[in-house]
Amino acid sequence: MRVFNRDLRFQDITIMYFTGLAALMVILVGSYQAPGNATNVSSFKSNASRPLPPLPMPFRVPLDPRGELQLAWNISYADQEVYMALRVAELRYGVVLGMSDRGELTNADLVVLWDSGTKSYFGDAWSDSEGRVSLDSQQDYELLEAKQKPDGFFLLFKRPFSTCDPRDYLIEEGTVHMIYGFLDQPLASLEQLNLSRIHTGLQRVLMLRPDTPAPTLPPDVRTLDVVSPNVIIPNQETTYWCFIQKLPENMPKNHIVMYKSVITPGNEAIVHHIEVFECSPEVPDVPPYSGSCDDKMKPGKLNFCRHVLAAWAMGAEAFYYPPDAGLPMGGPGSSRFLRLEVHYHNPLLISGRHDSSGIRLHYTPSLRRYDAGIMELGLIYTPIMAIPPKQRTFYLSGYCTSKCTKTALPSGGIYIFASQLHTHLAGRGVRTVVVRGGKELELVQEDQHFSAHYQTIRVLRKMVNVLPGDVLITKCTYNTEDRSRPTVGGFGIMDEMCVDYVHYYPRTQLELCKSHVDAGYLQKYFNFINRNHQMFVL
């Protein structure tokens, strides 16, 4: 039986043809328009009723080596939000800013400003495992302002710490790996963008900072600049420059109460991090030196200058001691020599650039109630501290035991107010906790996105009280997937460490509270493994 006649079939085909053609036109037109949930920057107007964060923003960092892209931010712990201001010195066709686990371009949480050729759009996006970009169906970056100013194009936007979106990065304590990119041509559709095909870069920051106000400095505060002596920055990507500086003759005991970076103008995007070390008081004289820290001809006595006095990394603010404490400098039993170490990151191989960057110490002769101290926690560096090769995740833990704290700490304990986590290149995470009565009581410091390329002293959001009998456990996470041999503990950059330098008061005689694997027990373990292996083979 024939259901349709010839004329009816022709009519159906005609309708289907024009319906399909209309659908195709909608698809084609849609591909040249921004998706409905992106913000049209071309017609965007700031909402005057929306409260803006205090300006200027307190935290800032240059993202690219030329300083053409600068990020500033502020934090609202009450609303659990981060406000970000992005300045683009010369905006072409757009810019990409994002966060990922370790700075990868794949599986990254992104915010994108792009030009379609006729309009500009702003949107929350993400990249897949191939670096291809898509607009996120859940828009968690909210545009607050978009303006062209004399010194560049400014974007002001905000985002919650946590969005409950599986494609979004969770902003938490510790290092945040920021990726960025510049668009050099219009995009008819954001889906045309692949991060592997544009100019990109990486910067690391501490996004979340304590929101406590800075203490007032005493009226008799003095300053001491520990800075590079007009160094010509080498035209190579990475340089660690060392300089020995002497304290004034017969300097009495003072308290360092604050320090901050002193960066030569124009070098803000090249000076990556700075550290000042105090030399051992047991070394009466350290020869003058200004040169590469890796130079095999440098004086051997520089190796006795390892006690951290101050540390700064790009984007860090001034470091203040608590009002009741200060770090001793000068006086009997202290060294007269300091070692400055400046890390220059110069990927563009800029030559002929002079630099006198360093750290300015603010100190007072009016001693505070307590001496502050620095205690080294974690593992002792020995070859027994070994990590197998080809490990995606491997853990090592160091202990400051209850016996040590019971013996060395005062009855009221100590108060930890800051710490500096430290590993070498295989390190991926560091965590220090206080254990009391067999239970984990409090977290001291944690960074599960830790990078050996970004190490600075981090002020705790609240001080941690450690009592006699408490245990301090420092746990480090490593990745050795790119290594074919075991990694052992040691001072070399390809060796490993697991350390947390905790800053505390009142100062005690306990400067190092670490553990190591007992060689005898390790031998018993290997004997046990060998016996069981033989039984299995038989």
Name the catalytic one among 93, 240, 345, 453: 240
Residue 240 designated active-site = yes
The position carrying tokens 């410091």 is 445
Q: Which of 307, 422, 424, 503 is catalytic?
A: 422
Paired strand residues for 519: none
Q: Which residues contact 336 (CB under 8 A, 6 or more apart)?
A: 246, 247, 249, 251
- The answer to whether 88 and 69 are in contact (CB under 8 A) is yes
Cα–Cα dist 320/368, whole Å? 13
Cβ distance 418 to 411 under 8 Å? no
Q: Reply yes or no on whether 505 is catalytic.
A: no
Numbers of helices and strands, H then E, in the chain: 3, 36
- DSSP of 249-284: TTPPPEEEEEEEEE--TT-TTTEEEEEEEEPPTT--
CB within 8 A of 88, min separation 6: which ones?
68, 69, 95, 152, 153, 154, 155
Q: Which helix (H) or strand (E) holds 537?
A: helix 519-537
CB 176 within 8 A of CB 205: yes
> What residues contact 392, with CB distance under 8 A and at least 6 apart?
479, 481
Name the H helices within 69-167: none
With tokens 């203490």, the residue in question is 215
* CA distance to 98, 177, 181, 277, 506, per residue, from 451 (Å): 17, 9, 21, 21, 30
133 contact partners, CB below 8 Å, separation of at least 6: 96, 110, 112, 125, 126, 127, 190, 191, 193, 194, 195
Write out the H or E segment, with its range, that includes residue 243.
Answer: strand 238-246
Residue at 380: amino acid letter: I
Q: In terms of C-beta density within 10 A (0-12 exposed, 13-18 middle, 19 or more buried), how is residue 527 classed?
A: exposed
Burial of 85 (0-12, 13-18, 19+ CB in 10 A): buried
Closest CA to 65 of 187, 177, 200: 200
Torsion of CA 467, 447, 338, 367, to 10 degrees: -40
Listed residue (35, 71, 68, 67) closest to 155, CA to CA = 71
What is the SS3 assignment for 525?
helix
Token pair listed for 388 = 């197998």
What DSSP string describes 344-393? Answer: EE-TT---S-EE--EEEEEEESS--SEE-EEEEEEE---TTSEE-SS-SS
Catalytic residues: 240, 422
